């Protein structure tokens, strides 16, 4: 048996019990009121909560060299996340301290050479956000420059990802939030991986509808029947809460045979672990790569989708490149975009119609229940 995260041994035992019909469903049927997708006040609270929690914004390989920077607005606040000259990660509001101009204009990855020069009146900041020059400073006789550095937000590197909290401050207890994922993610050594490609999209749907699509194993045999559906045996899965997050594993074709004959070479060939990092990140451990996708609400009925396909090493040959191209095409374009996000837009169209006052969920949709519970608990708090 290959080396793999020990947590998978337990997950395989649980999944085997599911296949053998020995596990009771973790929850009974439940309903979700459709007004939870249309209530503007609730939506504003959710957006506020998203800015108070750690969210993955990049893989470390995307911010590896000094000066590499990500301009990121999708959390509803203009942010820049960068690697400074000493090699430390910094995250700051991308907002001038004079009259508030956004400093770096284009969203996405860029290179910061010296620092940030505001186009409006020329205030100048170094790469760590320190205000270094104010043109005609005598116009501000009482200005304390040190009090006008760019405003930091907490940033943290763990499991090969860059996590940000979009609220002013330097400190956040990332560890208590992320520790429940340690046993699963640490052994994957994703910090040595690279991103093959980032796929982004905006779609007309509420963000919770998208999260639900990735907390639901029930749809795979139907919605994905022409793409990845056939890779899975009977679409059986085991799911559980992992702190605020959700951990699942689903059996691939050959799962039962491999278990029966004790012929497991690589667990990822016979079962696919998937996670939702609360609140808005989807993580899928495919046989030879991983997918990390984050869902950002832009408005109550629109999302921004960001998916990084993460591979063990940069492709060295045309054959390797073609292999990852095929996977990207299948997963990002075929499955996520044309199937999952497509169906979410279809649901959105029906949400406000009055056809359903409640959405009905079965026992296999248990993770949706846990995720909503966690969300409600945190909103109440």
Among Fe ion, ligand FES, none, what does residue 222 contact (CB within 5–8 Å per kind)? Answer: none
Which string of b and e fits 8-34 if b means at least 16 CB within 10 Å?
beebbebbbebbeeeeeeebeebebeb
Of 340 and 365, which CB lies nearer to Fe ion in the complex structure?
A: 340
Task: Name the one residue in this structure whose structure tokens are 């679409």.
Answer: 235
Rounded to whole angstroms, the Cα distance separating 57 from 107 reads: 13
Among Fe ion, ligand FES, none, what does residue 123 contact (CB within 5–8 Å per kind)? Answer: ligand FES
Tell me the C-alpha to C-alpha distance, in Å, between residue 165 and each of 48, 169, 347.
11, 9, 30
Of 122 and 352, which CB lies nearer to ligand FES in the complex structure?
A: 122
- Kindly tell me which residue out of 37, 123, 283, 304 binds ligand FES, with binding defined by CB under 6 A: 123
DSSP 151: P
Of 150 and 181, which CB lies nearer to ligand FES in the complex structure?
A: 150
Rounded to whole angstroms, the Cα distance separating 281 from 274 reads: 11
DSSP 341: I
98 binds ligand FES (CB under 6 A): yes
- Kindly tell me which residue out of 96, 209, 228, 242 binds ligand FES, with binding defined by CB under 6 A: 96
Of 120 and 358, which CB lies nearer to ligand FES in the complex structure?
A: 120
Closest separation in Å from C-beta 114 to ligand FES: 16
364 binds Fe ion (CB under 5 A): no
Rounded to whole angstroms, the Cα distance separating 102 from 65 reads: 23
3-state secondary structure of 211: helix
93 binds ligand FES (CB under 6 A): no
Decide if 75 contacts 165 (C-beta within 8 A). Answer: no
DSSP 152: B
Among ligand FES, Fe ion, none, what does residue 4 contact (CB within 5–8 Å per kind)? Answer: none
Of 38 and 152, which CB lies nearer to ligand FES in the complex structure?
A: 152
46 binds Fe ion (CB under 5 A): no
Rounded to whole angstroms, the Cα distance separating 162 from 60 reads: 6
Closest separation in Å from C-beta 134 to ligand FES: 8
Closest separation in Å from C-beta 129 to ligand FES: 13
99 binds ligand FES (CB under 6 A): yes
Of 108 and 122, which CB lies nearer to ligand FES in the complex structure?
A: 122
- Kindly tell me which residue out of 6, 31, 120, 137 binds ligand FES, with binding defined by CB under 6 A: 120
Question: Residue 97: what are its φ and ψ, rounded to 5°?
Answer: -85, 0
184 binds Fe ion (CB under 5 A): no
Window 296-335: contact mask with Fe ion (x via CB under 5 A): ----------------------------------------
124 binds ligand FES (CB under 6 A): no
Q: Which of 193, 301, 275 is nearest to 11 (CA)?
A: 275
340 binds Fe ion (CB under 5 A): yes
Among Fe ion, ligand FES, none, what does residue 340 contact (CB within 5–8 Å per kind)? Answer: Fe ion
3-state secondary structure of 1: coil
Among ligand FES, Fe ion, none, what does residue 342 contact (CB within 5–8 Å per kind)? Answer: none
Q: What is the DSSP string of 27-94?
A: S--EEEEGGGGT-HHHHHHHHHHHTTS-EEEEEGGGG-STTEEEEE-TTSS-EEEEE-TTS-EEEEES
Among Fe ion, ligand FES, none, what does residue 101 contact (CB within 5–8 Å per kind)? Answer: ligand FES
> Hey, what are 371's tokens?
């995720």
Task: Name the one residue in this structure whose structure tokens are 């939702």.
Answer: 276
The residues that touch Fe ion, with contacts defined as CB under 5 A, are: 340
The residues that touch ligand FES, with contacts defined as CB under 6 A, are: 96, 98-101, 118, 120-123
């Amino acid at each position: 048996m290959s080396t793999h995260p020990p947590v998978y041994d337990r997950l395989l035992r649980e999944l085997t019990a599911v296949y053998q019909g020995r596990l009771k469903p973790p929850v009974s049927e439940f309903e979700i009121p459709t007004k939870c997708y249309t209530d503007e006040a609730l939506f504003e609270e959710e957006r506020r909560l998203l800015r108070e929690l750690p969210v993955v914004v990049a893989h470390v390989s995307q911010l590896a060299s000094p000066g590499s920077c990500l301009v990121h607005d999708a959390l509803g606040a203009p942010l820049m996340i960068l690697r400074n000259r000493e090699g430390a990660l910094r995250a700051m509001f991308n907002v001038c301290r004079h009259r508030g101009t956004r400093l770096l204009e284009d969203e996405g990855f860029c290179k910061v050479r010296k620092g940030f020069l505001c186009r409006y009146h020329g205030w100048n900041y170094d790469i760590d956000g320190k205000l270094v020059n104010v043109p005609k400073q005598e116009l501000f006789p009482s200005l304390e420059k040190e009090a006008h550095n760019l405003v930091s937000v907490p940033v943290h590197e763990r499991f090969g990802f860059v996590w940000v909290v979009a609220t002013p401050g330097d400190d956040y207890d990332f560890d208590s939030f992320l520790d429940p994922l340690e046993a699963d993610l640490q052994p994957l050594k994703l910090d040595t991986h690279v991103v093959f490609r980032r796929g982004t999209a905006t779609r007309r749907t509420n963000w919770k509808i998208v999260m639900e699509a990735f907390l639901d194993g029930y749809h795979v045999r139907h919605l994905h029947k022409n793409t990845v559906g056939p890779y899975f045996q009977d679409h059986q899965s085991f799911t559980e809460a992992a702190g605020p997050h959700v951990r699942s594993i689903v059996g691939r074709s050959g799962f039962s045979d491999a278990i029966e004959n004790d012929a497991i070479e690589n667990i990822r060939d016979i079962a696919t672990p998937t996670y939702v990092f609360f609140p808005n990140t989807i993580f899928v451990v495919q046989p030879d790569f991983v997918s990390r996708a984050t869902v950002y609400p832009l408005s109550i009925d629109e999302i921004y989708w960001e998916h990084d396909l993460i591979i063990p090493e940069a492709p060295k040959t045309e054959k390797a490149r073609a292999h990852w191209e095929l996977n990207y095409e299948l997963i990002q374009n075929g499955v996520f975009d044309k199937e999952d996000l497509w169906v979410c837009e279809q649901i959105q169209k029906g949400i406000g119609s009055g056809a359903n006052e409640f959405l009905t969920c079965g026992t296999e949709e248990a993770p949706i229940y846990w995720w909503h519970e966690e969300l409600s608990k945190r909103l109440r708090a």
